[in-house]
A and B are shown apart, each in its own frame.
Chain A
Amino acid sequence: MRNVIEIDSLTKNYGKHRGVSEVSFQVEEGDIFGFLGPNGAGKSTTIRSMLGLIQFQAGSIHILGKDIQKNREDILSEIGYMPSETMFYPGMKVKDVIRMAADVRKRDCRREAEKLCERLKVDMDKKISDLSLGNRKKVGIVCAMQHRPKLFVFDEPTSGLDPLMQSEFFNLIREYVKEGATCMLSTHVLSEIKNYCKNTAIMKEGRLLCVDSVANITKTNAKRVKLLRDGRHENYIFEGNLNELMQTLAGYDIQDILIEELSLDEIFMHFYAETEVCDGYNL
């Protein structure tokens, strides 16, 4: 399967401020690729470099086999992008914004736009200035999808959307991906990664921590250990040989104990921050 996105050693600094450093990953065709990281991790810098909105100092970005620095317009004509803060011209009507996005692409997207507006319950006659964040997001989704692009790039797409619309949004994504599109999804919502993504990249402080399948990342033998010892509640994450854990615990006077699987949130938090994950038992 060919790579739709190929980022190699991407480095971008904003003067003295850190941007991203030596970021490399690939996204395969037909994938719904998760892009995770806390605020300021460099996700938006990577996305904005991919779209040619900012210039980067080193590395290369190829999308659909083309270099973004040489073929920006060609690449953007095949991308549907929705930014996290979806803003449009406040004086315009929804239908005018949607038509403007289609006109720039020189495509007649009226049928697809109508279908999307119907499914997402977008009122095309409303003025942009009268829309809530959620409704602006829905207009952003229509603008990103109406031309049926080969690649979708969404930056926190579901913030502000009600649960029904979130579900409808992912239904649409799955339908387009089934037809051959690829989707890159930058999000803070871990359940979205778990439920919809095959592969994911995790960013922290401008660097890429890991790129792997969601199944591999969530596969761990780490356990959360909660125990009541000498009247004190203790709570740990244990990663290592379970026999050693049992032997060590046997030496204590334990009133109560619970050993359970890590939640998805805890697994990702392990990447986000330095948590109390231990290599071996360390009470």
Chain B
Amino acid sequence: MVTIYKHEIKEYRKSLLIWALCVGGMGAMCILLFSGMQESMENMAENFASMGAFSDAFGMSQLSIATLKGFYATEIGTIHALGGAMFAAVVSANMLSKEEDGHTSEFLFSLPIARGKAVMAKWLAIMSQIILFNVLCVCLYLLAILGLGEEMPVNEFVLYHFMQLLMQLELAGLCFALSAFQRKNKPGLALGLVLFLYAYDLMARILPDLSDYKFFSPFSYANAADLLGTGDIYVSAVVLGIIVLAGSVCAAHLVYRKKDLAV
């Protein structure tokens, strides 16, 4: 199990670094731009806050983008949410299917390792990478905030990034389960799922008819404006997210253990 875990970490280390530097770097650069834009933001903040449903969808009605907290929630929140979700989807979508797609399943599973243990090793590798990705991104954001000489409310900041981590794990779990059913790598399917759930969350924030069903999308409980604005946790969505995460990993485990491997 340890051998497979180490192998997966090694296989994805470059990809992890590239994604973390791109998403974290982009976020950090936006933070550094804030001081230069602060004055013009003050003039625009009122307009942005009074754009009705659009302002609601992007959280600009709750927080002023003229403050670092508001700017972080609307700008960095979007970059980190989408970038992190896409990274989680890409890493997990191929984790199991790549063995059949690359014809390595015969080599790997003719070695004395239980399929269940291999699945768990691969899931642990996904979790480790997502955690590392978030640590690297947060470090870059904090360096930028320190460089700016501004302050962020610690509790809300930690809560937001914890919920982002949970959301990425839930999406990774879903894509991991999809990967167990596939014989070919389908990263497009995973990215499509992420974008659909993101769009669904935006729609649920704009359309009153959908607002009661907002919790279906994991983006609902990891929204930067909600968490940095009020600090309230969307409990029902979080509970559903944990159930979906556990269910997805169990499904991947059950399916892959009994699967006829293609060579």
**Chain A residues near B (Cβ < 8 Å):** 14, 44, 48, 51-55, 72-77, 79, 81, 83, 85-91, 100-101, 103-105, 140, 143
Q: How far is the CA of A55 from the CA of B111 in the complex (A)?
A: 17
Could you tell me if A88 and B7 are in contact, using CB atoms closer than 8 angstroms? no
Using A48-B263, A54-B261, A89-B11 as known contacts, say yes or no to A105 and B104 having CB atoms under 8 A apart: no
State the Cβ distance, A189 to closest chain B Cβ, in Å: 21
Given contacts A73-B113, A105-B112, could you give 11 more A-B pairs where the C-beta distance is less than 8 Å?
A: A44-B263, A53-B105, A53-B110, A54-B260, A74-B112, A75-B112, A88-B107, A100-B3, A101-B107, A103-B3, A104-B4
Measured CB to CB, the nearest residue on chain A to B102 is A87
**When the two chains form their complex, are residues B260 and A55 in contact, meaning their CB atoms are under 8 A apart?**
yes
For residue A105, which residues in chain B have a CB less than 8 angstroms away from its CB?
111-112
Contact across chains for B102 and A76 when beta carbons are under 8 A apart: no
Contacts of B107 in A (CB 8 A): 83, 86-88, 101, 140, 143
User: Would you call B181 an interface residue if the criterion is a C-beta within 8 Å of the partner chain's C-beta atoms?
Assistant: no
**A101 proximity list for chain B (CB < 8 A):** 107, 111
Given contacts A87-B103, A100-B3, A104-B3, contact A79 B263 (CB under 8 A): no
For B, the interface residue count at a CB cutoff of 8 angstroms equals 20
Shortest Cβ gap from A1 to chain B (Å): 25
- Asked if residues B102 and A89 are in contact (CB atoms below 8 Å), the reply is yes
- Whether B263 pairs with A85 at a CB distance below 8 angstroms is yes
Pairwise interchain contact A76-B112, C-beta atoms closer than 8 A: yes
The 8 A-B pairs at the shortest CB distance, nearest first, are namely A77-B112, A76-B112, A87-B103, A54-B260, A83-B106, A81-B110, A103-B3, A104-B111
**In the assembled complex, which residues on chain A have CB atoms less than 8 Å from the CB atom of B4?**
104
Binding site for A on B (CB under 8 A): 3-4, 7, 11, 102-107, 109-114, 258, 260-261, 263
Q: B110 touching A79 by the CB < 8 A rule?
A: yes
B121: shortest Cβ distance to chain A, in Å?
11
Q: List 24 A-B contacts (CB under 8 A).
A: A48-B106, A51-B109, A51-B110, A52-B109, A53-B110, A72-B114, A73-B113, A76-B111, A79-B110, A81-B106, A85-B106, A85-B263, A86-B107, A87-B102, A87-B106, A88-B104, A88-B107, A89-B7, A90-B102, A91-B11, A101-B111, A104-B3, A104-B111, A105-B112
Tell me the bound Cα distance from A245 to B114 in angstroms: 61
Interface of B is mostly: loop
A74 to B104, CA, bound (A): 21
B106, A53: Cβ atoms under 8 Å?
Answer: yes
List the A side residues contacting B113 at CB < 8 Å: 73, 76, 104
Distance between B88 CB and nearest chain A CB, rounded to angstroms: 22
- CB–CB A83/B110 < 8 A: yes
A76 near B3 with CB under 8 A, answer no
Q: What are the residues of chain B within 8 A of A77 when measuring CB–CB?
A: 112
Q: Report B-chain residues with C-beta under 8 Å of the C-beta of A143.
A: 107
Docked Cα-Cα span, A52 to B258, in Å, equals: 10
- Residues in A with CB closer than 8 Å to B114 are 72-73
The CA-CA distance from A91 to B260 in the complex, in Å, is 26
A64 CB → nearest B CB, Å: 13
B243 to nearest A CB, angstroms? Answer: 29
- Rounded to whole Å, the gap between the CB of A51 and the closest CB of chain B is 5
Q: For the complex, what is the distance from the CA of A90 to the CA of B104, rounded to whole Å?
A: 10
CA distance A89 to B106 in the complex (A): 12
The answer to whether A100 touches B109, judged by C-beta atoms less than 8 angstroms apart, is no
Cβ distance B105 to chain A, nearest Cβ, rounded Å: 7
**CB-CB nearest in chain B for A74:** B112
Contact status B263-A83, CB under 8 Å: yes
Given A87-B102, A143-B107: A104 in contact with B258 (beta carbons within 8 A):
no
Count chain B CB atoms within 10 A of each CB in A53, A81, A91, A140 and give the residue with the most: A53
Neighbouring A residues of B258 by C-beta, 8 Å: 55
Minimum C-beta distance from B181 to chain A (A): 16
Determine which residue in A74, A75, A85 has the highest number of CB atoms from chain B within 10 A of its CB, and name it: A85
> What is the bound-complex CA distance between A161 and B105, given in angstroms?
23
User: Who on chain A is nearest to B109 by CB?
Assistant: A53
Chain A residues, CB < 8 A from B263: 44, 48, 53, 83, 85
Bound Cα distance A76, B187 (Å): 32
